[in-house]
A = this chain, B = another copy of it.
């Protein structure tokens, strides 16, 4: 009994401490009457969600833009409601007194176009699942290909609307790093600092193939119907399979092996039935199923394409794109990343140094592979703090 009370007290204390520490944030909507994509297509009535932490200073010089990863959203920190199960993905990094200190900086983040979580009520995005105002029906595959540059340009329009002409820094993990790097290359005079977490400066052939595999299960699902499944049964089996692959690739083998510590290759059901799944596969499936419920399958295809069609600055070569960067840069790859290989990320850093730019690199080694960049980012919190606080 005594022990129960002690535990209860501990929980209450922890919860109170945590509540004090956590920002409550509002999700807002940014709208553009029309937007012209990188390839020259027009999208009408673009809406994306955004949120901000901290206060914009008088000369609007303290803004830090956070750009989100493939399955992420603008929700980088804080909670929308005190009752939310978890805060934003980089809450350990962003907040009052934290490495990205909201007592100093105005931290802002927005949902990308074609954000995968189209059915998450806290995500606001425009993509293939949106209603085309010209037809009154969902776009499906008639939605134009959108690129990392388009995500950057929507963010730029949002910042322009707030009168922010210069970013103290742009920081993002994975697909968010693509946006951060592109920001620094596309708008070199607007970006003072760039932090690329677990992200390369251009998509090579090998990664392009991996991204194709992410889209493939959806396109094989008979319910997909060339993207015209709205109002009908959705390609859920394909979407779940896609998420299962994404999740595996975002983790390092040891993490999965430690998590499924009781894995046995001689598990009984799969030995007797070719259709029975191993416990490890069921674990991955259950994670994927719960996440798939809020996602749109076409949006996964579109974000895979956006990630394929990326090179720093959308230049003829990665070198040319890097050459345009004026910001000081910090690259933070994960040592055991099997998705965006740390040696490719080091390459971008070394090219910047060779070009006479100011660049730093530091590794994450948190045991989660690519996901270290989201879940274990505080390993480099001190470095990030110093990088942001020095000229």
Contacts and interface: CB of A to CB of B under 8 A. Distances in A.
A309 B213 CA distance: 25
A308 interface: yes
B145 A271 contact: yes
A265 B307 CA distance: 9
A311 B206 contact: no
Contact of A270 (B38, B256, B309): B309
Contact of A213 (B38, B209, B245): B245
Contacts of A311: 264-266
A152 to B, nearest CB: 15
Interface residues of A, number: 61
Interface in A236-286: 237-238, 241, 244-245, 248, 253-254, 256-257, 259-260, 263-267, 270-275, 277-281, 284
Judged by DSSP, the binding face of A is helix
A349 interface: no
B238 A208 contact: no
Given A278-B208, A281-B209, A145 B265 contact: no
Interface string A331-358: 0000000100100000000000000000
Contacts of A216: 217, 241, 244
A309 B265 contact: yes
A145 B270 contact: yes
Nearest to A251: B206
Given A208-B265, A217-B217, A265-B310, 15 more contacts: A145-B270, A203-B265, A205-B257, A205-B263, A205-B279, A206-B256, A207-B253, A208-B280, A209-B278, A209-B280, A217-B220, A222-B222, A265-B308, A266-B314, A267-B309
